[in-house]
Chain A
Amino acid sequence: MSITEVEFQAASAEAVPEQAIEGKSQWQLTWRRLRSDRMAIASVITILVIAMLALLAPAFASLTGHSAVQQYPNTGLSASGLPVPPGTAGFWLGTDELGRDLFVRILYGARISLFVGLSTTFMATVAGVAVGLISGYFGGRTDAVLARCIDAALAFPYVVLALALAARFGPSLPIVIGVITFFSWAGVSRIVRGQTLSLKEKEYIEAARSLGAGPWRIMFVHILPNLLGPVLVLATLLIPSAIVFEATLSYLGLGIQPPVPSWGNILNGAQSYYQVAWWYLVFPAAALLITTLAFNLLGDGVRDALDPRTERIFAGQAGGRKKKRRKAAAADEPAAAIAAGTAEG
């Protein structure tokens, strides 16, 4: 056998397993783990359904024939002037004290909640990542100033200032979004700064610097991709807290103003009628709870999927029972992930 033949055979022998064991990036593995997490998938479906309902709110409004702000004093109120229960006169979820269709109002409220949740989270994440990166990477005096700002924003009695701001500028949607963003970025910044501080000491950053990469290139090309995991988790968990924040402001009368419906101001109205109209309280409350719960569960799922070491109580895999100790779980998880990956592929 000649040398070339041996090399050829070796190459062909290697080629076979290479096709079987497909290389997987961290994100592919994360996606696989997330997909096997039944709670996370259920949350994604729930969120998509809510988003669809919110988008289709005008369609439902024309289907029921009721707009969100139109009052129906003849059909929508009982003889004694009280809200009518679900199913009466085409009001699927009943009416409120002015005879408005609760179902349509909740759908339109979902639009506000989702819009506020997503837009504030996006802006807070971008701002938080930028401040955290700059603060952590440059260090020194820049860091001293920015870190103080982060600490101040975190320790501030923020609800108090949020109330003051909402009161000063008059309650409106842009003010609500501004206030929530202003009080959300600091949490992201703190995490990003801490991670940047440790990442910038790594050898590969030194290597990049020795090749002549500038600070901005290092920050955004070399450090930022390694931060995406924690930032993604944090952003997913920011969404429900922003939704709760908006609902709370609106409930206090400092957010979205009636007659524009928001879950917060619907519930504010419900407070005076909870004794006679359970539906007025229960349905908007359920909408709010289901939405925030779905985002929170998704956030937990994303975190577990990104970090194989965390134990998964609800992952829906038999693997959970085999691992008694966290350390043990950490040791055999990569093997398990590869096994799961090849089994599916």
Chain B
Amino acid sequence: MSTVYFVIRRIFTGLIVLWFVTTVSFLLFFLRPANIVARLIGGRSASSATLALINKRLGLTEPITVQYWHFLVALVAHFNFGYSYYNGESVNTVLAQDLPRTASLVFGGVILWLIAGLGVGILSATRARSLFDRVSTVGVLAGISLPTFVLGLLLLRYVFQPLNEHGYTWIGINYVGLSAGVIPWMGHMILPWITLATVQAAVYTRLSRGSLLDTMGEDYIRTARAKGLRERRVIYKHGLRSGLTPVISQLGVDIGALLGGVIVVEQVFNIGGLGQDAVTAISQGNQPVILAFVVIASAFVVIANLIVDVVYAFLDPRVRIA
């Protein structure tokens, strides 16, 4: 019962955050000087009559409360993000085209991130001070210090380019849909995945290593060893559960950071997903597209946080009671 109550409460908080982010970004872009948007669309030489017409067409002459109401109704009731200021295309069409690209990137990136981060962390913690541990500590430091886009550019220059020059063209950039087959899809996504996962994996290697090392020093671990359990069982059954719980609680926070990585990786590898379109939209002042990106990105963060919290609540009963 308490678990159901907990989940409902978290969903409610998530919706409030979502509403808040949406409203703030709406205000941010509506409170700018009049005619900026019209000027963008009409061009520098547009007459004031044209500007007025554009403003009227886009509904920008109405009071802000009315505009907000229209925006909210269209979004909630019809899931309609409006039309691009730039070419009049429906934002929903843009989303339908972009979402699979961004989803492929996030999907593979997160899997690689968790496997590499937790895996290396556990291996280093159980072999503390070994050669493997030292090498991974150096790697983690380099990974943390390396900005995502620099890693991406270096991979382009020193992995993608030589491979392509030697005829290994199955590894690529840009985006190839799953419809072209799993292998081409993976070939084109593998470098973006590595780029997206590396920085995060480095952070998680460090987190899980530290947390697991702390746990392995606890008395109950000694008890488990003393009663004759095999070391594997001590680590994987007794150590991991409490050792990785704090790491999981950190996941929710880092999902937001992951999105920043997504924007950068899409830009570097020209994937043409949501993030790349959002950056283009920002430079064009194309507000409906920006708002759509903000709403979807925040929804993603809220949902991911919700899942993390629920998983965490199952792992650590104290959370459910509090």
Contacts and interface: CB of A to CB of B under 8 A. Distances in A.
Interface of A: 152, 154-168, 240, 244, 247-248, 251-254, 267, 270-271, 274-275, 278, 281-282, 285, 288-289, 292-293, 296-297, 300, 311, 313, 325-327
B257 interface: yes
B256 A251 contact: no
Given A155-B252, A164-B282, A278-B157, A251 B149 contact: yes
Given A157-B297, A293-B142, A163 B264 contact: no
User: What 5 pairs between A and B have smallest CB-CB spacing?
Assistant: A159-B260, A167-B282, A292-B145, A293-B145, A157-B256
A157 B253 CA distance: 9
Interface in B221-258: 252-253, 256-257
B213 interface: yes
Contacts of A327: 217
A274 B283 contact: no
Nearest to A295: B145
A311 B213 CA distance: 11
B106 interface: no
Nearest to B142: A293
Contacts, number: 129
Contacts of B28: 164-165, 168
Given A164-B25, A164-B28, A253-B279, A155 B263 contact: no
- The prevalent SS among residues of B at the interface is helix
Residue of A168, A240, A313, A327 with most chain B CB atoms under a 10 A cut-off: A168
B154 interface: yes
Contacts of B149: 247-248, 251, 267
A277 to B, nearest CB: 10
Contacts of B15: none
Contacts of B17: 152, 155
Contacts of A289: 142, 145-146, 150
B259 interface: yes
Interface string B129-157: 10001100100011011111110011011
A154 B147 CA distance: 20
Contacts of A168: 28-29, 32
B150 A285 contact: yes
Interface residues of B, number: 51
B161 interface: yes
A162 B253 CA distance: 16
Contact of B260 (A158, A270, A281, A293): A158
A7 B209 CA distance: 56
A159 B142 contact: no
Contact of B157 (A157, A248, A274, A325): A274
Contacts of B279: 163, 252-254
Contact of B294 (A160, A240, A292, A313): A160
Given A160-B297, A168-B32, A274-B153, 11 more contacts: A152-B17, A155-B301, A157-B300, A159-B256, A160-B278, A163-B282, A164-B290, A254-B279, A282-B157, A289-B150, A313-B133
A160 B298 contact: yes
A293 B141 contact: yes
Contacts of B161: 274-275
Contacts of A267: 149-150, 153
B294 A164 contact: yes
Contact of A281 (B141, B142, B153): B153
